[in-house]
């Protein structure tokens, strides 16, 4: 094999996420994420349930992608993350979808779980802008990202809506098979803040819309208050008001309902992680918010009422996907 042939083969190895599973997706192989050489999506519609600076009153133009590089055991969108929901679409169709969402009045184009398709999506964004797309692009991610991919997104992505799930590597391994998550997520978030800068807003319909910057979400998990306190402390001390912080209580124990249907994966998970069968009580969530206040977090998004309802989970019914 020639040096050129070796280089071409190496270039075909997927390096889009920290899993580094090394498959050749263009040859039809599926990576850890489950994706191969086509893009699948399950919904493209206005979404009202993001943070106010993202959804506003009009809604965020969300595109929900199938598969996921992180694949958390408690995922509320498990059928989407495993590729059981969604259909294949072309790059041209994705460009059309972006423009259709803009025509519906979306405040932005919100790409949900895009990491494993990032090379394709950069081409899509470029083509959509040539055809008149003028909205901010939101990269809605688990936080399990590579620095070089965030650098590659410069000029394409305006806003990062990113999770920071774990400060505890043992918990990251227990729930997401990713003990390296804290280190990877810190490096990624450092780069997001560097390339986006401080939050910038404009005004649409009398509300502030985020047009540049980073929103960091943290979801409180059952029995994991200490992990959450570590996360909030880390984010506050490292980034301060360079990020917008969102502290969430909407953990939904769908893994328990799946186990009741004899879903073999869910049954195995609950044998080793029985705490995931329970939602987070309001007292624990209030304790986390009190802690955030105590350490000096002066401004952050928080949720009130019953946020952990299945009704908050979109229907992945191909709305807006097909021609």
Q: What is the mean pLDDT of each run of 10 residues along the chain (323 residues)?
A: 39 88 93 96 97 97 98 93 97 98 98 97 98 98 98 98 98 98 98 98 96 98 98 98 97 92 94 96 97 97 70 85 89
Collect all residues with Cβ–Cβ distance below 8 Å to 296 and sequence separation of at least 6: 236
The beta strand positions in the chain, using DSSP E, are 39-47, 60-65, 87-89, 109-112, 137-141, 159-163, 200-204, 207-219, 244-248, 301-302
Handedness of CA 177, 39, 60, 209 (dihedral sign): positive
Residue 299 CB neighbours (<10 A): 7
pTM: 0.94
pLDDT of residue 14: 95
pLDDT of residue 6: 36
How far apart are the C-alpha atoms of 280 and 286, rounded to whole Å? 10
pLDDT of residue 307: 53
How far apart are the C-alpha atoms of 191 and 184, rounded to whole Å? 11
pLDDT of residue 314: 86
Q: What is the DSSP pairing of strand 109-112 with strand 60-65?
A: parallel
Cβ distance 246 to 217 under 8 Å? yes
> Of 81, 53, 76, which Cα lies nearest the Cα of 66?
81
Q: Between 181-196 and 225-239, two packed helices, what is the crossing angle to 10 degrees?
A: 30
pLDDT of residue 306: 56
pLDDT of residue 12: 77
CB burial string 134-172: b at 16+ within 10 A, e below: ebbbbbbbbbbbbeebbeebeebbbbbbbbbbbbbeebb
């Amino acid at each position: 094999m020639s040096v050129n042939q070796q280089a071409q083969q190496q270039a075909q190895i997927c390096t889009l996420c920290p899993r580094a599973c090394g498959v050749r997706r263009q040859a039809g192989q599926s990576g850890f994420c489950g994706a191969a050489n086509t893009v699948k999506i399950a919904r493209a519609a206005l979404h009202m349930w993001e943070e106010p600076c993202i959804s506003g009153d009009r809604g965020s133009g969300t595109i929900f992608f199938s598969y996921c590089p992180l694949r958390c055991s408690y995922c509320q969108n498990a059928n989407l993350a495993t590729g059981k929901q969604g259909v294949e679409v072309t790059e041209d169709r994705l460009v059309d979808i972006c423009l259709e969402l803009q025509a519906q009045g979306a405040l932005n184009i919100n790409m949900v779980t895009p990491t494993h398709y990032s090379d394709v999506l950069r081409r899509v964004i470029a083509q959509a802008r040539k055809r008149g797309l003028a909205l901010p692009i939101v990269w809605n991610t688990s936080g399990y990202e590579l620095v070089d991919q965030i650098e590659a997104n410069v000029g394409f992505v305006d806003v990062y809506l990113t999770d920071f799930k774990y400060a505890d590597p043992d918990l990251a391994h227990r729930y997401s098979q990713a003990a390296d998550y804290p280190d990877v997520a810190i490096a990624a978030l450092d780069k997001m803040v560097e390339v986006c800068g401080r939050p910038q807003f404009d005004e649409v319909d009398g509300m502030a819309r985020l047009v540049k910057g980073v929103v960091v979400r943290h979801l409180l998990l059952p029995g994991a208050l200490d992990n959450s306190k570590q996360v909030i402390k880390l984010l506050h001390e490292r980034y301060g008001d360079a990020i917008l912080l969102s502290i969430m209580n909407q953990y939904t124990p769908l893994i328990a309902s799946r186990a009741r249907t004899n879903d073999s994966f869910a049954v195995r998970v609950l044998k080793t992680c029985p705490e995931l069968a329970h939602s987070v009580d309001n007292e624990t969530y209030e304790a986390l918010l009190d802690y955030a206040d105590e350490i000096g977090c002066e401004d952050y998004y928080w949720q009130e009422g019953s946020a952990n309802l299945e009704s908050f989970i979109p229907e992945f019914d191909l709305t807006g996907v097909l021609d």
